Amino acid sequence: MTTKTKSKSSRKIARYSLIIMGVGFIATAPFQGSFWVELLHGGFEAGLVGGLADWFAVTALFRHPLGIPIPHTALLPNNRKRMTNGLVSMLKNDWLSKESIQEKVKQIPLTEKLIAILDKQIHTDKFRKGIIKLITQMIRYIEIEKITPFVKKQIISTLSKMEMSKFLQLVSSQLLNEQFDKKALDHILIKAETWLRKEQTSQRLGTVSMNVLSKIEADGMLQFALKSIQSLLTEEKLGNIVQNLLLSVIKSLQYENEPNREALILYIRNEIQGINDNKDVLVSIEKWKGQLLAKWEPDQTITESLQQIQKSALDLVEDHEFIDMYLIPLMNHILDNIKENSADIDNWIQKQIIILVENNHEQIGNLVQENLDKLDNDTLIDMMENNIGKDLQWIRVNGAVCGFIIGILLTGIQALFRLA
């Protein structure tokens, strides 16, 4: 049964009690003379007076009795402003004061309640489906085309700020760790040997050597010796001599611990180690890097890569093992961290709530005041009657009943005095 229904029921009972007293008073009035009738008549009379007096008092709180503007009636409508101000003040300063709210907040174990709820929910099918749907929607809502310029900007910015000296140092260290100096020399020697063993190489070497001899300017005996060599050797023979000589040198350089080989490897190693200190190389690389970045158009590549990442993420999330293998362990880890730091988290949340209450406490009274101001007098009175009118109607009933009993007592006492 609703409050409004209960209030109407109480009002009916109060009305019936007044009607009973009135009917009883009228019914016993013609039969005066008998002691018992006079006793009842006195009781009904007093009950009628008490019921009418309480009816007047209760009605005067809410409206003018019988619509007559009697002074000091309709107390609540006439004093609405004072009443609402008192209500707002009591609510704000007494029932919901800053101190009481803050004290109550401090007593609430916020993280404990939160952990209990989450710990229970994460194992339900509804939560599992909901969280997977939420994550999937979040991934799908990402607009790759809008992210591409940002990613491009970050990549270019990062590459522009990269210190090439450190990069070259890293490269040189890696090359030395992999013995690139020895591998480079061996590779060059193998290529050189392969080239020297070709038949046309011998011919070229002979031609070149003969041209060199013919261009050498010398005097006396040296000039005579050179002419003698040119007359004794053909281009083919000279080419074979030079070819065999170079092959012999290459062969010796291929042996481990050979002094010339060690000297070459040391030279290569020093050059690799010092590449990051070579200012000319660094300037050239920086210039090359700037030109490359200026001409670089990676938009399509970045977009395709991001789309592939998005698709892979969706495939991962939609996999049946994702929630048990990744999500649940992650959430359990987070909950464990929250438990370990529950005191600090509670203190922080409570502090934020206290600050919020401190800064907005006036809004409580303002909110109540605004809601009360929206109600017209009839609506406000009807609400009050429906909420507190039930008890007030019982005052009327009690007034009639008490008046009836007191009337009987007084009539009885009068009868005793007459007998005396």
Q: How many residues does the chain have?
A: 420
Percent of the chain at pLDDT > 90 equals 3
- Listed range (180-189, 204-213, 240-249) with the worst mean pLDDT: 204-213
366 occurs within a structural domain:
no
User: Each residue of 323-334: pLDDT tens digit?
Assistant: 888 888 888 888
Q: Is residue 346 included in any domain, yes or no?
A: no
Overall number of domains in the chain? 3
Question: What is the structure's pLDDT at 1?
Answer: 47
Say yes or no: 22 and 59 in one domain. Answer: yes
Q: What is the pLDDT of residue 309?
A: 92
State residue 391's pLDDT score: 59
Q: What is the mean pLDDT of the chain?
A: 76
Same domain, 155 and 284: yes
pLDDT at 159: 81
Residue 223 included in any domain: yes
Q: What is the DSSP string of 107-171?
A: T--HHHHHHHHHHHHTTSHHHHHHHHHHHHHHHHT--HHHHHHHHHHHHHHHHHH--HHHHHHHH
Do 188 and 220 reside in the same domain of the chain? Answer: yes
Residues 392 and 287 both lie in one domain: no
Range name among 59-73, 177-191, 326-340 with the lowest pLDDT average: 59-73
Q: Which of 71-75, 145-149, 276-280, 325-329 is the least confident region? A: 71-75
Does any domain span residue 329? no
The confidence score (pLDDT) of residue 325 equals 85
- Spatial contact of 416 and 38, defined as CB atoms under 8 Å apart: no
Say whether pLDDT at 359 is over 90: no
224 assigned to some structural domain: yes
Is there a domain that residue 128 lies in? no
Count the Cβ atoms, other than its own, within 10 Å of residue 257.
6
- Residues 169 and 229 grouped into a single domain: no
Asked if residue 348 has pLDDT above 80, the reply is: yes
Same domain, 63 and 30: yes
Q: Provide the token pair at 277.
A: 């200190």
Confidence (pLDDT) at 125: 83
Give the mean pLDDT of 292-304: 86
Residue type, 377: N
Same domain, 172 and 190: no
- Indicate whether 148 and 291 sit together in one domain: yes
| Same domain as 219, residue 197 | yes
Q: How far apart are CA 155 and CA 296, in angstroms?
A: 11
- Compute the average pLDDT of residues 5-22: 66
Q: Which two tokens stand for residue 271?
A: 């050059």
Number of helices and strands in the chain (H, E): 21, 0
pLDDT tens-digit map of 99-126: 776 677 777 777 888 888 877 887 788 8
In a domain, 129, yes or no: no
188 within a domain of the structure (yes/no): yes
Whether 398 shows a pLDDT value over 60: the answer reads yes
Domain end point (choices 194, 221, 254): 254
Predicted confidence band of residue 246 (pLDDT cuts 50, 70, 90):
confident
Which residue bears the tokens 């008549």? 41
Residues 155 and 186 placed together within one structural domain of the fold? no
pLDDT of residue 205: 81
For a pLDDT cut of 70, what percent of the chain falls above it? 65
Confidence at residue 305, expressed as pLDDT on a 0 to 100 scale: 92
From 83-87, 196-200, 277-281, 384-388, the region with the lowest mean pLDDT: 384-388
154 shares its domain with 194: no
Q: Residue 296: which of 392, 420, 156, 174 has the closest Cα?
A: 156
Whether 317 shows a pLDDT value over 90: the answer reads no
Domain interval for residue 404: 3-78+375-419
Domain match, 73 and 31 both = yes
